[in-house]
Amino acid sequence: MKTNISANPLESGNDELERNALEECVRRQRLNHRVSVLIVSAGRGELAVKFARLGATVVVADTDAHKQEIEGRALAAGFGHEIRFVNLDLAAPPEHIPGQAFDIIVVRRGLCTLPYAEARRVVRNLLLRLVIGGKMYLSILGLNSELGDAYPDAEKPVEARYAALATDVGAKYDINGPVCLYTERNLFMLLLEAGASVLRTLTTTWGNVKGIAVRV
């Protein structure tokens, strides 16, 4: 049964997964080690500022369309040196991202725009940019949310699930092009198949799914 969404399903802001990531930053921060964080698809940059306030160095990986706003927000908050922007095509990340290896990677959005096999490859690639014992916090759009209403690939296995949302749903949330929607089990298997040790998965109030994994 679908969960009725009354807010944006991208769920930006101080959600449970992001709180867990910020708490992990506090635990890892030591006088002789400054936590290094990578945020993929950072939106307006609020989360990057929260990490910087905890003393972390932060790399924000997003498209150039967000660069000016993110850098402006970092400067306005007084963290122009602590927050660095890099242009990133999620489907083809560069061989090296400044700041790696990272203690924490947060993937906030974008992964569902890739077919499952490609998403698995990207997660594996990002996982290898963590230190051993580093953690990945991943959010993805859920099949059992409003986005799944009349989704044409809903009955297909996740490996074959890649289609545009129903026209009215896509227009409502400005999500264009094909997407792969996930159940909680799908996300668990994605992380496992990418080589991560899965610590936790959860389904949010809005029906989207999130996971926490560690590089071992």
Q: Beta 102-107 vs 36-40: how paired, if at all?
A: parallel
pLDDT for residue 31: 63
- Percentage of the chain exceeding pLDDT 70: 93
Report residue 213's pLDDT band, with 50, 70 and 90 as the boundaries. very high
* C-alpha–C-alpha distance, residues 201 and 111, integer Å: 16
* C-alpha–C-alpha distance, residues 52 and 210, integer Å: 23
| pLDDT greater than 60 at residue 19 | yes
Closest to 49 measured CA to CA, from 41, 33, 40, 60: 60
**Taking the CA of residue 57 as centre, how many other CA atoms within 13 Å lie in the half-sphere pointing to its CB?**
13
| pLDDT greater than 80 at residue 143 | yes
For the entire predicted model, the pTM comes to 0.89
CB atoms within 10 A of CB 141: 25
Homologous superfamily assigned to 16-214 = Vaccinia Virus protein VP39 (3.40.50.150)
* C-alpha–C-alpha distance, residues 49 and 55, integer Å: 10
90 or 38: whose pLDDT is higher? 38
| 44's tokens | 């307006």
Closest to 82 measured CA to CA, from 68, 71, 90, 93: 71
Contact by Cβ (8 Å): 177, 200: no
pLDDT for residue 88: 85
- The position carrying tokens 């989360």 is 47
